[in-house]
Structure 1
């Protein structure tokens, strides 16, 4: 058939080639005069694909074009396997970025909860400003019906981290409890790391080992004491007192009185007690 590929001076130079191909014994003859161009054929096949496969095809075509440009202008090229893997990785990242964000499930809001009958509850918190390397602590001691027994606020001139501040607040709360010679107390903080370290038996190598030793020694003098976690929503009063302590110049203690700066939060806490709990608290 080599002679039919030679261009002639008259007529269609591919006419003889078409005739030879049409007479050839091949399965599924096609009218070559009506054959699609590669672009049209590619589009026809692409439109017949499912959306997932079509997306992969588009990414591979894009990667091939990028590889072609890198070869022409930079003299670098990827293997076929690298092209396919990188195009699929791009597609996965694109789909992840465009995926709608999953709706966050709202956690039920928790409020202050009174301790068991006859048990006092001490809430402590700390405030910290890294740019000034100082902080403040605060806490409030309340009965099982919400009445304020004592409160404190004070500055910490040198504070290295929020966790260290929470440990200082726990120690300050324990100091107040011991000074009042109380027997049954629950201490709550909103810092799980501080609670974990304060309860650690082998704390000698920890950065706050000396402070933890003071906490454990103070806890050992109280017959019944418990250190627990409570979320920030349950710790509003101590949080406010810690902010006051940050601005204070000296340690402040209130005994058998409610500081005016926290009366609104006290009311807020009591308003969110369950009716049964509120009734029991004031009928004992």
Structure 2
């Protein structure tokens, strides 16, 4: 094993032991800053809250490129007794961000030691990728004004892909994600007296099925889109019809016009079906992740 191999493994294992959730990556930020400064880079911390940006310049062309990795973990308990198991109960690097950070530290170490370029490389460690807020926080903190680049590159591990291969393409590659919450209010009551209630479970069941028609009957077949209901909860009991049902889920799309259509159809179906049953509903619809669209020249 080469020295770089051992350093990469050590970085990854250290980071895996200390997972931290979105915007709480304080120990992670300090660890990264120490490793980057040891490699001779100029390091700025606290960008967008807990983000880290390190810069390495060779030559004087003024050109600059960014390389990006994410930092946060998931709220998942990690089983096992292996040496680098998570030491923060309830949190785990289950999405591979420990690997992403180790790869970017490795790139920084190689470029600092070997050079071979003329310009500036920015190593951008972004917090809060999981909730979709970290990139915006860094941009709002002046990332591109303070650390200008002509292009930004990032990647994500992909279990199942052949080792030694990069998978990419020009144009759209990762869909945008929007989230919704549908809160249906009926009138609860005893299960033996259904004629005296407005059953929100019936309304919710009809809504779940109706939402499956949005992609099938409203979206252009040439446009990719997904609508998924992923969670249903009620305030009912075994022998009591609830007064409220909450349905949560998300949608995926590439085109802003399709994203707008999905929201419009979700709202209209929920309101119409609820009204038809004598119930009311409130739809909360949030735009979380913009789609990833790769520049052809960069690809």
What TM-score does the superposition give when structure 2 sets the normalisation length? 0.21
Query: How does the TM-score come out when normalised to structure 1?
Result: 0.22
Which of the pair is proportionally richer in strand?
A: 2
Which one has the largest radius of gyration? 1
